[in-house]
Amino acid sequence: MPRKVIEASTAVAEAVKFCKPAVIPMYPITPQTHIVERISEFINDGDLDSEMIHVESEHSALSAAIGSSATGVRTYTATASQGLALMHEVLFVASGMRLPIVMNVANRALSAPINIWNDHSDSMAARDSSWIQLYVESAQEAFDTTIQAFKIAENKKVLLPIMVCLDGFTLSHVYEPVDLPQQSKVNGYLPKYKPSNILDVKKPVSLGPIGYPDSFMHFKKAQQDAMDNALKIIKKSNSEFKTRFKRSYGNGLIETYNLKGAKFAIVCAGSICGTTRVAVDELRKQGIKVGLIKIKCFRPFPKEDIIAACKKLTGVAVIDRAVSFGFEGPMFTDLKAAIFNEKKKPLIHSFIAGLGGRDVTKNDMLTIFKKISKTKKPITEWLLD
């Protein structure tokens, strides 16, 4: 199939079509709406044979997804912002029950004040829910990662739900060329989902029972182990995708760009990575050695890969599009923690940028590079102008 100019939301819907989930409970919310619309069209046109459940809220959407996934069928949903916040308590049920639900999050700020535009505060607030979190940069990556997500989630060593986060509007509403593969190619990559413990009247089981203090911790440890396994499985899924589709995103966990010989680097996630690439290119042309570390997988946090990437750097600027109020940017915290015990480590700076749809430009990135290359003290700054 050829490359086509389509909206990133359409690319996500196309990916879902290729993966053929049996049940899709969804509740529309800006800026995820176009994903729901496209999937509805596919079902209406007979291109996708899925049951779409029209629910009354996001809380119900994920609850229905849990019920569906528990019966052993591939299940998909999507949401954003307040919708993800409303799902919050159910997020933990999905991951605790180890159900491989795939969900796209069209990242948007949380109220108040009301704001429909892009930042990462919605998914960052859900980072401890034991969902795998993957952030994407382009429409193509949104398409590819959504397909990979089913493979990762359904792996027997993982069995955890996944959020594929794409920036609302800034990416979700962008039209750009996307390579759409043949269905057979996707079938070869993503085998039919074979569940193990499912709700079946012929072979009854109980799912979601009480966990007493003597066993509860064991279940939580198993979840943590599954997250550790996910690191390997995500890498593997990325490399297998590369052999079949000739596309890959770093090692699947992080992607480094022009890091060779670089003294300074920006660490960020999502669509602003693209803008950072442009800034890096411009500075490299001037002979200034800078690079980019793109965090694609935020949970599980790719600690070892981060350590390796930071080893030869003198300064790193972490750009967070969310704040853990009362402390700092969540990615900044995690990055520092990851390299804390290393003997040789760069100076790490924190920049909070692009909250609530505030544009992050190439010039912003150039300014950040300039600032971190001139200082010997750690910078903490909000890009307000």
**Which of 46, 113, 204, 287: binder of another protein (CB under 8 A)?**
204
Return the number of other C-beta atoms located less than 10 Å from residue 267's C-beta.
27
Q: Which amino acid is at 41?
A: E
Tokens encoding 368: 């950040």
Among 191, 208, 261, 378, binds another protein (CB under 8 A): 208
Q: How far is the CB of 5 from another protein (least distance, A)?
A: 4
Binding-site member from 22, 43, 53, 116 for another protein (CB under 8 A): 116
| Among positions 245, 263, 357, 382, the unique one binding another protein when judged by CB under 8 A | 357
For the bound state, the minimum distance from the C-beta of residue 176 to another protein, rounded and expressed in Å, comes to 5
Among 53, 55, 73, 97, binds another protein (CB under 8 A): 97
Q: Compute CA distances 295 → 63, 64, 143, 269, 373, whole Å.
A: 30, 31, 17, 5, 21
| DSSP per-residue codes, 66-135 | HHHHHTT--BEEEE-HHHHHHHHHHHHHHHHTT---EEEEEE-PPSSSP--S--SHHHHTTTTSS-EEEE
Question: How many degrees, rounded to 5, is the angle at CA 275 between CA 270 and CA 278?
Answer: 140
At residue 343, the 3 state secondary structure works out as coil
283 belongs to the binding site for another protein (CB under 8 A):
no
With CB under 8 A as the contact rule, which of the stretches 80-88, 184-192, 357-365, 369-377 interacts with another protein?
Answer: 357-365
Kindly state whether residue 5 participates in binding another protein, applying the rule CB under 8 A.
yes
The SS3 of residue 15 is helix
Helix axes 8-19, 33-44, angle to 10 degrees: 50
Fill in the per-residue mask, 307 to 336: x = in contact with another protein (CB under 8 A), - = not in contact: ------------------------------
Residues near 162 by beta carbon (within 8 Å), at least 6 away in sequence:
100, 101, 102, 103, 131, 132, 133, 134, 149, 152, 153
111 binds another protein (CB under 8 A): no
Q: Which of 16, 61, 106, 159 binds another protein (CB under 8 A)?
A: 159
Least spacing, CB of residue 6 vs another protein, in Å: 9
DSSP letter assigned to residue 357: G
Question: What is the layout of strands, in order, in the sheet containing 290-295?
Answer: 254-257, 290-295, 264-268, 315-320, 347-352, 380-382
CB of 220 to another protein, least distance (A): 10
Which 180-199 positions form the footprint of another protein (CB under 8 A)? 196-197
- Tell me the closest approach of the beta carbon of residue 347 to another protein, in angstroms: 27
Write the DSSP symbol of residue 351. Answer: E
| Among 277, 299, 321, 349, contact with another protein (rule: CB under 8 A) | 277
For another protein, give the closer residue by CB, 79 or 275: 275
**Count of positions on this chain that bind another protein (CB under 8 A):** 47
Residues near another protein (CB under 8 A): 3-5, 7, 31, 96-99, 116-118, 159, 169-171, 173-177, 196-197, 203-209, 211, 214-215, 218-219, 222, 271-272, 274-275, 277-278, 357, 359-362
